Amino acid sequence: MSDQLRSFFGCGLDDERTFDLDDYGDVVPRWCSGCGDHGVLNSVKRLMRDEQLLPERTVFVSGIGCSSRFPHYLNTYGFHGIHGRALPVATGIKLSRPDLHVFVVMGDGDCCSIGAGHWLHATRYNIDMTVLMLDNAIYGLTKNQTSPTTPMGYATNTQPKGSFLPALNPITTTLGVTNVSFVAQTADWVPAHLLATIRAAYRHSGFSFVRILQRCPKFTAPLFAEQARTPDLHEMLIHPNGVTVPGLDKIYKRSLEHDPADIDRARALSEESERVRLGVFYRNESQPRYDDIRHLPTHTAAQNIERLNVELDRYAV
């Protein structure tokens, strides 16, 4: 939507309000101390502050799970849906209200398990929304059951001798879907990278999928402990069209030049590797967007003029 049109819909380019972090939400979240969700929430608030997003033009949609409490902690519109259905809800919102910016917050249970069917189709539909998939590799809210992303051999309450199967890889899965347009990976313990990645996703026109590796101090602490304190276990994907964080290379020294336009290499890089790769795997804004092609509601020229007149009448003196 052009700025002109945004102004017409009352989103106020001439809006003189300014927002600081607390304006986007100042409640203390009910997450465990040490939970990676806190860091994601902080990064999201920073993004909103930096971009001066209008709270009434922003919607956070979630499903069910620890991370799905997200909308409760933000002073924007929120939709705490049902398990696995965040993406269909977001689709409905975006198609009927293209002027709203839609964020979707899901966990690995919501996205990769009960709602996995929607994940595939939402990726293909490529509707403009920012999708944050907070992956703690466990069903946390129901307290410690194997999820599709639980690593093989990791013991949980449902599989006490360890998960039987290799973990599902959400990056390769998303990259395998026709019409995919943005796939990135970041981690809650690299806050600067987290913020930069969420920003890149927000600015992407289309369905931007960000997998956020997220610590769960209660149930999967051993999975992330060493990773989080060892920069050498990471490999940063760098490129002018990817995510660049000035100074981060001083700590995270291992990096790999990767052009996010190269889907074949993105797919290759997304496979299991010695080190966890963070960065933008793929980005392509030329993929068709369903909301662009089939946006609702559609109005005739006469209807648009009438709507414009109604709007202008508000300013009649």
Partner 1 sequence: MSRMLVTGNAAAAWGARLARADYVPAFPITPQTEIIETLGGWIEAGELDARMVTLDSEHSMLTAAGAAAATGVRVFTATSSQGLLYAMEMIYTVAGWRAPFVLANVSRALAAPITLEPDHNDVLAARDSGFLQLHAATCQEVLDLTLLAYRLSEDEGVRLPIIVNLDGFYLSFTREPVQIPEPSAVDAFLPAFDPGGLGFSASRPVSQAVAVLGGGPYSYFRYEMHEAARNALAVFDQVAADFGDRFGRHYSPVESYRCDDAEIAFVMMGSFATKAKDAVDQLRDAGQAVGLVRPRMLRPFPDQALRDALVGRRGVAVIDQNLSMGLGGVLHTELSAALCGVPNAPVLASFVGGLGGRDIGASEFFAMVDVAREAARSGMPPVPRLLYTRSELREMRKLQGIAAAERAAAGQPGDGA
What is the binding site for partner 1 (CB under 8 A)? 80, 82-84, 113-114, 116, 139, 141-143, 145-146, 148, 157-161
Shortest spacing between CB 75 and partner 1, in angstroms? 10
Shortest spacing between CB 291 and partner 1, in angstroms? 26
Q: Which is nearer to partner 1, 81 or 206 (CB)?
A: 81
Q: Which is nearer to partner 1, 44 or 111 (CB)?
A: 111
- Kindly state the tokens that stand for 137: 């590799």
Shortest spacing between CB 139 and partner 1, in angstroms? 6
Q: Which residues contact 304 (CB under 8 A, 6 or more apart)?
A: none
Q: Are strands 207-213 and 182-187 parallel, antiparallel or unpaired?
A: parallel
Q: Which is nearer to partner 1, 142 or 304 (CB)?
A: 142
Shortest spacing between CB 64 and partner 1, in angstroms? 8
Q: Which residues contact 170 (CB under 8 A, 6 or more apart)?
A: 108, 111, 112, 133, 135, 149, 211
Distance of CA 86 to the CA centre of its chain: 12
Shortest spacing between CB 55 and partner 1, in angstroms? 10
The closest of 48, 58, 56, 59 to 19, measured between CA atoms, is 48
> Which residue is listed with tokens 């964080």?
245
Shortest spacing between CB 109 and partner 1, in angstroms? 9
Q: DSSP for 79-97, please give it.
A: EE--TT-HHHHHHHHHHH-
Shortest spacing between CB 113 and partner 1, in angstroms? 5
Q: Which is nearer to partner 1, 43 or 149 (CB)?
A: 149
Q: Do residues 127 and 290 touch, judged by C-beta distance below 8 A?
A: yes
**d(Cα 58, Cα 121) in Å, to the nearest integer?**
23
Burial pattern 2-16, b for ≥16 Cβ within 10 A else e, equals: eeeeeebeebeeeee
Q: Cis peptide before 98, with omega less than 30 degrees from 0? A: no
Q: Do residues 42 and 25 touch, judged by C-beta distance below 8 A?
A: no
Shortest spacing between CB 242 and partner 1, in angstroms? 32
**d(Cα 126, Cα 65) in Å, to the nearest integer?**
24
Shortest spacing between CB 24 and partner 1, in angstroms? 15
User: Per DSSP, which regions of the chain are E strands?
Assistant: 58-62, 77-80, 101-107, 129-135, 182-187, 207-213, 234-238, 255-257, 276-283
The closest of 58, 96, 95 to 78, measured between CA atoms, is 58
Q: Which is nearer to partner 1, 85 or 193 (CB)?
A: 85
